[in-house]
Amino acid sequence: MAETILWALLIEYDGGGFAGWQRQGNLPTVQAVLEQAAGKLCGVARIACTAAGRTDAGVHAAGQVVQLSLPDRFSAERVRDALNFHMKPHPVVVLQAAPAPPGWHARFSAIGRRYLFRISDRRARAALARGRVWHIAHRLDVAAMHAAARVLVGRHDFTSFRATACQAKSPIRTLDRLDVARVGEEIEVVAEARSFLHHQVRNMVGTLALVGAGRWEIEAVKTALEALDRRAAGPTAPPEGLYLMEVCYEGSLLNG
Amino acid sequence: MAETILWALLIEYDGGGFAGWQRQGNLPTVQAVLEQAAGKLCGVARIACTAAGRTDAGVHAAGQVVQLSLPDRFSAERVRDALNFHMKPHPVVVLQAAPAPPGWHARFSAIGRRYLFRISDRRARAALARGRVWHIAHRLDVAAMHAAARVLVGRHDFTSFRATACQAKSPIRTLDRLDVARVGEEIEVVAEARSFLHHQVRNMVGTLALVGAGRWEIEAVKTALEALDRRAAGPTAPPEGLYLMEVCYEGSLLNG
pLDDT, tens digit, 9 for 90 and up, residues A192-241: 999 999 999 999 999 999 999 999 999 999 999 999 999 999 999 999 99
Looking at the structure, tell me whether residues B136 and B194 fall in a common domain.
Answer: yes
B13 closest CB neighbour out of A13, A95, A127: A127
- A-B CB pairs within 8 A amount to 58
* Nearest residue, CB atoms, A128 vs list B60, B81, B127: B60
- Show pLDDT as tens, one digit a residue, over chain B (256 residues): 469 999 999 999 999 999 999 999 999 999 999 999 999 999 999 999 999 999 999 999 999 999 999 999 999 999 999 999 999 999 999 999 999 998 999 999 999 999 999 999 999 999 999 999 999 999 999 999 999 999 999 999 999 999 988 889 999 999 999 999 999 999 999 999 999 999 999 999 999 999 999 999 999 999 999 999 999 999 999 999 999 999 999 987 776 4
Residues of B with active-site annotation:
56
A127 shares a domain with A211: yes
Q: Which residue of chain B comes nearest to A13, CA vs CA?
A: B127
Summarised one tens digit per residue, pLDDT across range A91-123 is 999 999 999 998 999 999 999 999 999 999 999
- A209 lies in the same domain as A183: yes
Does residue A255 form part of some domain?
no
Q: Three-state SS for B128?
A: coil
What is the pairing mode between strands B112-120 and B134-135? parallel
User: Is residue A79 one of the residues assigned to a domain?
Assistant: yes
A14, A128, A139: best to mutate for the B interface, most B CBs within 10 A:
A128
Full domain range(s) for residue B118: 112-246
Domain tally, chain B: 2
Same structural domain for residues A209 and A103? Answer: no
CA distances from B95 to A129, A130, A132, A183, A249 (A): 13, 14, 18, 18, 43
Q: What is the pLDDT of residues A122-178, one digit of tens each?
A: 999 999 999 999 999 999 999 999 999 999 999 999 999 999 888 899 999 999 999
What local confidence, expressed as pLDDT, does residue A230 receive? 96
Same structural domain, A178 and A229? yes
DSSP letter (8 states) at residue B82: H
Judge whether B251 lies within some domain: no
Question: Is A33 part of the contact surface with chain B (CB cutoff 8 Å)?
Answer: no
- Residue in chain B nearest A59 by alpha carbon: B128
Asked whether residue B148 falls in the same domain as residue B217, the answer is yes
| B29 CB-side CA count, 13 A | 19
Beta-bridge partners for A188 = A118, A181
**Helix or strand (DSSP H, E) at A11:** strand A4-13
Band of the pLDDT at A12, cuts 50, 70, 90? very high
Q: Render the burial of B207-235: b for 16+ CB within 10 Å, e for the rest.
A: bbbbbbbeebeeebbeebbeeeebebbbe
Q: Are residues B95 and B130 in the same domain?
A: no
ipTM of the complex model:
0.92
Domain boundary among A84, A108, A132: A108
Choosing from A14, A56, A72, A157, which is the catalytic residue?
A56
User: Which of B67, B82, B108 finishes a domain?
Assistant: B108
Nearest CB to B125 within list A93, A126, A130: A93
Task: Look up the CATH number of the domain holding residue B26.
Answer: 3.30.70.580
Partners of A94 on chain B (C-beta within 8 Å) are: 124
Q: Do the Cβ atoms of B130 and A14 come within 8 Å? A: yes
Same structural domain, A128 and A219: yes
Task: State residue B133's pLDDT score.
Answer: 98
C-alpha distances in Å from residue B136, one per residue of A60, A112, A178, B17, B236: 23, 32, 36, 22, 14
Sequence-distant (≥ 6) Cβ neighbours of residue A217 within 8 angstroms: A211
> Residue A166: its pLDDT value, please?
87
For residue B175, give the 3-state DSSP assignment: strand
Would the pLDDT of A11 be above 90? yes
Nearest to B198 by CA among B159, B232, B145: B159
Contact A209, A145 (CB under 8 A): yes
In a shared domain, residues B28 and B42:
yes
Partner-chain contact A81 B123, CB within 8 Å? yes
Phi, psi of B6 (to 5 degrees): -90, 125
CATH of the domain at B144: 3.30.70.660
What is the residue type of B205? V
pTM assigned to the model: 0.95
Phi, psi of B52 (to 5 degrees): -65, -40
- Cβ B155 vs Cβ B226: under 8 Å: no
What gap in Å lies between CA A19 and CA A25, rounded to an integer? 11
User: Which of B108, B131, B160 is at the close of a domain?
Assistant: B108
With CA atoms as reference, the chain B residue closest to A79 would be B124
Q: Which helix (H) or strand (E) holds A49?
A: strand A49-51
* A81 catalytic residue (yes or no): no
Please enumerate in sequence order all residues whose Cβ is within 8 A of that of B238, keeping only pairs 6 or more positions apart, or say none: B58, B134, B202
Is residue A256 included in any domain, yes or no?
A: no
Report CB contact under 8 Å: B14, A125: no
Tally Cβ neighbours within 10 Å of residue A88: 12
Number of H-type helices and E-type strands within chain B: 5, 10
Task: Based on the fold, state whether residues B80 and B128 are members of the same structural domain.
Answer: no
Do A95 and B130 lie within an 8 Å CB cutoff? Answer: no
Distance of residue A62 Cα from the nearest chain B Cα, in angstroms:
8
A35 inside domain: yes
Model confidence at A253: pLDDT above 80: no
Instruction: Based on the fold, state whether residues A122 and A229 are members of the same structural domain.
Output: yes
